Amino acid sequence: MKNLAPAIFPPKGIGDTKPSNKAVLDWVDEIAKLTQPENIFWCDGSEHESEFLIAESLKQNVLIELNQKRVARSYLHRSNPNDVARVEQFTFVCTPTKQEAGPTNNWAEPTETYAKLRALLSAAMRGRTMFVIPYMMGPADSPLTKVGFEITDSKYVVLSLRIMTRMGDVALKRLGNDPSAEWNRGVHSLLDVNPERRFICHFPRDNTIISVGSGYGGNVLLSKKCLALRIGSYLARKQNWMAEHMLILGVESPEGRKHYVAAAFPSACGKTNFAMLIPPAHFKGWKVTTVGDDIGWMRIRDGRLYAVNPENGYFGVVPGTSYKSNPNAMRSIAHDTIYTNVALADDGDVWWEGKDGEPPEHAIDWRGNDWTPQSNEKAAHPNSRFTTPMRNNPVLDPDVDEGEGVPISAIIFGGRRSDTVPLVYQAFDWNNGVYLGATMASETTAAATGAVGRVRRDPMAMLPFCGYNIGDYFQHWLDIGKQLTNPPLIFNVNWFRKGADGKFLWPGFGENMRVLKWMIDRCEGSGGALKSPIGWLPSPHDLDLAELDVDRNAVDELLGLDHEEWQKEIAAHKEFFDSLGNVVPQELQKQREQLAAEFKL
Ligand code: OXD
Ligand code: MN
């Protein structure tokens, strides 16, 4: 079976950095007794350790060496073909009551689930190495920062977490020796990578995650979706902060005025591209910088929201990434990157659909089979990924390590919608913005297993990631709003609207700067807009469309509201709220009724 490599025995000085916190040591002891590994490897995230683990991974075929002249210090990993995306159907929130997990989560009773998982983990690491990884989410000195430990039997997880988190000594220092300090317990085992024994379980009350049977990043890099979002959102509500599925970017005018915006788009809807946007030539002197590409943690300070990116790297979708679509991502992944499930060209370079240049005449596809441009199969899996350090990003924001976070001027929601939803509009106020986020929808993508292209409601892009009752989550948003004296403006965008010919109406990518600029103008009180039933809409002349090759009719269509489409949309909002039972806050029901009245429903 792929990935199930035997134990490794490191030379002295590697794999022996034991934490001193007694609570951690007791827990590791307990998991080792249960899983019975051949040995325990205490990770410290050092260069030395990483070199050793890469060498072992190459020997055991967990990693494949790439042409180091083309992609320096970079490797390819192939996951089991049955294990290539997040599995929402096998993801559970295990709270004492089903009510606490709410209508959008799979719920499982904690005691029974612990017993089931303990049975699966019993002797699961026999003959293998158990790695203990200390990591930190957030800058070293941030009040938002959290410490986690992940136990895993996968070297791929160790090497990926070294990129994705601040790993090792920094985390141990942050935790200290207090056995009652808050830290997350994560246990991962590949087991036999069998979908029938694949469970991603969260125990928010215990700050614990157990993930078995998968090797795919979103299911096993427990720092990311599991801690930073599911457990994170649960802690955030309790502790009065916000854990959101949001990119964070900085945008600076030629005069040096800088704003930060946070944007929640569902998985594989262009968060990484937007966070690394390069303004078109017409916007000379404008700069966009990245704070984060996937997750934003925000807290209130002086009546404003301040955000940090808890992560240290990017786990991005590869297909479609090119020098045309996202030059900064291409530069980021040109070295020190782990690729998962892309194709391997005969010259040892990586290949994927949508990469610049001609496809290779022959390659090995993501499954390990021969591939040519004539093949019916894709060379790279549609959800193939790069894992790359954020320090590789040429436009990394200088304040990415700022513990206080960056002040957020605007929050943007958005999804993939072929119709109905205009290119951009602004909510009337915070509560109306919360309604807008709560009712957002998107066509599904390959980031999770299941049908692709189906419109589903994905509130705040958190449907798969909210670790508690979604009604309480909406209320938390409303409650945060009450504490803000200087709230961010809230917008909705849709880069994906199509015309009657089925083609995208908007060019997207760098041209999204035009929309971003209008949002910044609105933040500064200068941008024009018309009041519409759904919010403030720009008219074509409010957007800077100079030197853009999009015809006037397309712009009208992009900014237009179709009465019948919106009647259907509002009916779908009602259907969605009804499907949640009676958890939706009154304020949001009121917002919906007002909107329905506007459309004579
Ligand atoms: C991701 C996702 O990997 O949202 O970021 O699925
Ligand atoms: Mn994501």
Distances (CA, A) of 557 to 46, 494, 552: 54, 12, 9
Instruction: Output the CA 331–ligand 2 centroid distance in Å.
Output: 21
Instruction: Output the CA 395–ligand 2 centroid distance in Å.
Output: 20
Structure tokens at 552: 């006037």
Residues of the chain whose pLDDT is less than 70?
A: 1-3
* pTM of this prediction exceeds 0.85: yes
15-20 own/partner pairs: CB under 8 Å, 24+ apart: 15/41, 15/42, 15/43, 15/49, 15/52, 16/42, 17/42, 17/43, 17/44, 17/168, 17/169, 17/172, 18/42, 19/132, 19/134, 19/149, 19/172, 19/175, 20/172, 20/177
* Cα–Cα dist 443/439, whole Å: 14
Structure tokens at 26: 């007791």
Instruction: Output the CA 19–ligand 1 centroid distance in Å.
Output: 30
Q: Is the dihedral of CA 299, 397, 227, 81 positive or negative?
A: positive
Beta bridge partners of 287: 252
Residue nearest to atom 4 of ligand 1 (CA): 267
Residue 364: helix, strand or coil by DSSP? strand
pLDDT at 2: 45
pLDDT at 391: 98
- For residue 112, count other CB atoms closer than 10 A to its CB: 10
Instruction: Output the CA 39–ligand 1 centroid distance in Å.
Output: 32
* Cα–Cα dist 245/271, whole Å: 10
User: Which atom of ligand 1 is found nearest the CA of 315?
Assistant: 3
Residue with tokens 């249960």: 34
Structure tokens at 264: 């929640």
pLDDT tens-digit readout, 324-357 = 999 999 999 999 999 999 999 999 999 999 999 9
pLDDT at 1: 46
- For residue 287, count other CB atoms closer than 10 A to its CB: 16
* Cα–Cα dist 149/44, whole Å: 12
SS3 content of the chain, % helix, strand, coil (to 5): 30, 25, 45
Question: Whose CA is closest to 316, among 274, 361, 377, 372?
Answer: 274
Q: Does an H or E element contain 557, and which?
A: helix 552-559
Q: Contact 441/434 with Cβ under 8 angstroms? A: no
In short, whether 218's Cβ falls inside 6 Å of ligand 1 is: yes
Q: Contact 223/164 with Cβ under 8 angstroms? A: yes
pLDDT tens-digit readout, 245-291 = 999 999 999 999 999 999 999 998 999 999 999 999 999 999 999 99
**Mean pLDDT over each residue of the chain, to the nearest integer:** 97
Residue 353: helix, strand or coil by DSSP? coil
User: Which atom of ligand 1 is found nearest the CA of 447?
Assistant: 6
Structure tokens at 411: 């929050």
**CA atoms within 13 A of residue 280's CA, in its CB half-sphere:** 18
For ligand 1, pick from 225, 227, 247, 442 the residue to mutate: most ligand atoms within 8 Å of CB. Answer: 225
Dihedrals phi, psi of 16, to nearest 5 degrees: -125, 20
Question: Whose CA is closest to 128, among 75, 44, 62, 48?
Answer: 62
Q: Which residues contact 387 (CB under 8 A, 6 or more apart)?
A: 160, 163, 164, 217, 313, 314, 315, 337, 338, 339, 340
Helices (H), 44-181: 47-59, 98-101, 110-121, 155-164, 169-175
Catalytic residues: 269
Residue nearest to atom 2 of ligand 1 (CA): 267
